[in-house]
Amino acid sequence: MIMTRNVALIVGGMGGIGRAISRKLAADGFQIVIIHKNTSAQEVASFVDTLEGKGHIACACDVTDVSAVEGTIKSIIEKYGRIDACVYSAIDTLIRKKIIELDALAFKAPFDVAVFGAHTVLKSVAPIMQKQKKGRIVGITTAAIEPNSTSSRMGAYIPAKYALRGLLREYAKELAPFDITVNAVAPGFVATALNNDLPQQMVELVREKNPMKKVVSPEDVANVVAFLCSDGASSLTGLSIPVTYGETMNL
């Protein structure tokens, strides 16, 4: 079945930010394909049913398994014939330790998902977009990698997200001649499951310290991602855009 509607692949689409992105892009008219790993089939089906429009699907896939990723992307192309936007939002569990306290396996785990997983997905998606001579790629990083960030005790999360940003930059350079844009969206603190271990007092402290006295929502992130996936953002590539209500400024 070849689709005329634009197809958006959301990797990590069952996370808090991933769900918001899926909802927003579905509302914007995209055919949504979610890649997830551990969410139950019932929960996935219930969420997909809430998306605006029809025909959205979800695929269980471990992004650290190269063969599984390649097979999943192949099946998506066989079904829809195209991938117009790819949003990479997958991340491993956040370990709140100092970097010096991590053993080799704990340090490596976030890289397996955030960096090597992203490369595996993008390496499969990029040739499809090159044939189409058009595409949008967005990676979700974090404002915690910005030089003025005071975030700490996040294990290898920050180094892995920094590496993802570098990976996206290289893809942006290589894919620009094919009218494919590649950008990063870097949210500040977002109250999702990734941060469920933090007390409510911490959320209020984040709000109080923010210049606009707000905490970033998944929908705030989704709105920026949706713009980067739109035709209106065709001139924007190789950028890292903070979504922080002023916590991170680069003017």
* Sequence ranges of the domains in the chain: 7-243
Q: Measured between alpha carbons, how far is 49 from 34 in angstroms, rounded to an integer?
A: 12
For the annotated catalytic residues, the residue numbers are 157
What pLDDT sits at residue 97? 87
Q: Are 10 and 34 in contact (CB under 8 A)?
A: yes
Classify residue 241 as exposed, middle or buried by CB count within 10 Å of its CB (0-12, 13-18, 19+).
buried
Which residues, 6+ apart, have CB-to-CB distance to 39 below 8 Å?
14
Cβ burial, residue 244 (10 Å; 0-12/13-18/19+): buried
Identity of the residue numbered 24: K
Cβ proximity of 187 and 220 under 8 Å: yes
Per-residue model confidence as pLDDT tens for the chain (251 residues): 455 689 999 999 999 999 999 999 999 999 999 999 989 999 999 999 999 999 999 999 999 999 999 999 999 999 999 999 999 999 887 788 899 999 999 999 999 999 999 999 999 999 999 999 999 999 999 998 887 776 667 778 899 999 999 999 999 999 999 999 999 999 998 887 767 767 788 788 889 989 999 999 999 999 999 999 999 999 999 999 999 999 988 88
pTM assigned to the model: 0.94
What is 7-243's CATH number? 3.40.50.720
